[in-house]
């Protein structure tokens, strides 16, 4: 079955530690996205990538970093510079650029204490 | 700046009681408006894409409509399994989506 996988489902870290969230897709999609969701709020875009080896900042990129070395993979690193990292993180993809619905993964809930 | 506002924030209905959710938007050059359903602790699930004012789409008990300023998600004779958060998002000139905060819908049996 084609889809997007995110791992792990739950992640716990101590304050001051960097942590990397995994996102893999086997849909052969060119574009991938990372969102953050806080309780009672909509999704906010962190980073997106339209093609391998290229990515752009979204609306809330500070304290995060990404890489896109392979078409299938778009890992997100939450650095110690992110002031409020505890949130639900969602990865999505679209076939290419244009007006397409985004397919979402199951999400990773990150808790930093 | 592109903005999306959904209302109400939460809605509680009895099974079979029809209603509508609202998504108001301000955007320069709308290319598409999307509706998603999200269950607790899961990723959003795509429902509909609307491209231009006057367009309507239906799926089971759901019907989405679009005007130049807002979209409605009409729910007819809902069942408890329709309980979820419904998200609206718009896409303008850039590749990215702008999401509303969602409407949390609860259908009581």
Within 8 A of A30 by CB-CB distance, chain B residues are: none
What pLDDT is attached to residue B92?
A: 86
Q: What is the pLDDT of residues B9-59, one digit of tens each?
A: 999 999 999 999 999 999 988 999 999 999 999 999 999 999 999 999 999
Judge whether residue A95 has pLDDT over 80. yes
Percent of all residues in chain A with a pLDDT value above 90, rounded to a whole number: 84
Closest C-alpha among A29, A8, A16, A11 to residue A73? A29
- Residue window 53-112, chain A: list those with CB within 8 Å of chain B: 58-59, 88, 90, 92, 97, 99, 101-107, 109
Instruction: Test B100 with A42 for CB contact under 8 angstroms.
Output: yes
pLDDT band at A96 (very low <50, low <70, confident <90, very high): confident
Q: Is the CB of A43 less than 8 angstroms away from the CB of B87? A: yes
Nearest-neighbour CA in chain B from A42: distance (Å): 4
Least confident of A9-18, A95-104, B25-34: A95-104
Whether residue B72 lies within 8 A of chain A, CB to CB, comes out as: no
> How long a stretch of residues is chain B?
109
Distance between CA atoms of B13 and A75, rounded to whole angstroms?
A: 40
* For B37, nearest residue in chain A (alpha carbons): A104
Alpha carbon distance, N-terminus to C-terminus of chain B:
41
Cα(A30)–Cα(A49) distance, integer angstroms: 8
pLDDT score of A40? 79
Kindly give, in sequence order, each residue whose CB lies less than 8 Å from that of residue B90, ignoring residues fewer than 6 positions away.
B2, B4, B25, B27, B30, B32, B33, B34, B97, B98
Contact A101 B41 (CB under 8 A): no
Element (H, E) at A57: strand A54-57
A39 touches B at CB < 8 Å: no
Q: What pLDDT shows up at residue B3?
A: 92
pLDDT of residue B95: 74
Mean pLDDT of chain A: 94
Spatial separation of the C-alpha atoms in residues B25 and A68, rounded to whole Å: 32
What's the first-to-final CA gap in chain A, in angstroms? 36
- Please give, rounded to a whole number of angstroms, the shortest distance from the CA of B73 to a CA of chain A: 17
> How many alpha carbons fall within 13 Å on the CB side of residue A53?
0
pLDDT reading at A87 higher than 70? yes
Residue environment code for B84-97, b if the CB has 16+ CB neighbours within 10 A, otherwise e: bbbbbbbbbeebbb
Out of A22-36, A88-102, B45-59, least confident range: A88-102
Res B100: pLDDT: 96
Q: Which residue has the tokens 């795509």?
A: B46
pLDDT given for residue A98 in this prediction: 81
| pLDDT tens digits along B48-95 | 999 999 999 999 999 999 999 999 999 999 999 999 999 999 998 777
């Amino acid at each position: 079955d084609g889809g997007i996988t995110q791992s792990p489902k739950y992640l716990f870290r101590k304050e001051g530690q960097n942590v990397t969230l995994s996102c893999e897709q086997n849909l052969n999609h060119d574009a991938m996205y990372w969102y953050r969701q806080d309780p009672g709020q909509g999704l906010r875009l962190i980073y997106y990538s339209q093609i391998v080896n290229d990515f752009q900042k979204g609306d809330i990129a500070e304290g995060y970093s990404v890489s896109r070395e392979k078409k299938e993979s778009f890992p997100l690193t939450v650095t110690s510079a992110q002031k409020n990292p505890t949130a639900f993180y969602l990865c999505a993809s679209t076939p290419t650029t244009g007006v397409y619905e985004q397919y979402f993964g199951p999400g990773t809930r990150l808790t930093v204490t | 700046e592109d903005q999306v506002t959904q209302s109400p924030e939460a809605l509680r209905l009895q099974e079979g009681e029809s209603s509508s959710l609202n998504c108001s938007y301000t955007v320069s050059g709308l290319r598409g408006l999307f509706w998603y359903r999200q269950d607790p602790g899961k990723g959003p699930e795509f429902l509909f894409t609307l491209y231009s004012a006057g367009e309507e789409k239906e799926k089971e008990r759901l019907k989405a409509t679009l005007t130049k300023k807002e979209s409605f998600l009409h729910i007819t004779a809902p069942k408890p399994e329709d309980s979820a958060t419904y998200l609206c998002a718009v896409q303008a000139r850039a590749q990215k989506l702008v999401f509303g905060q969602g409407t949390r819908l609860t259908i009581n049996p």
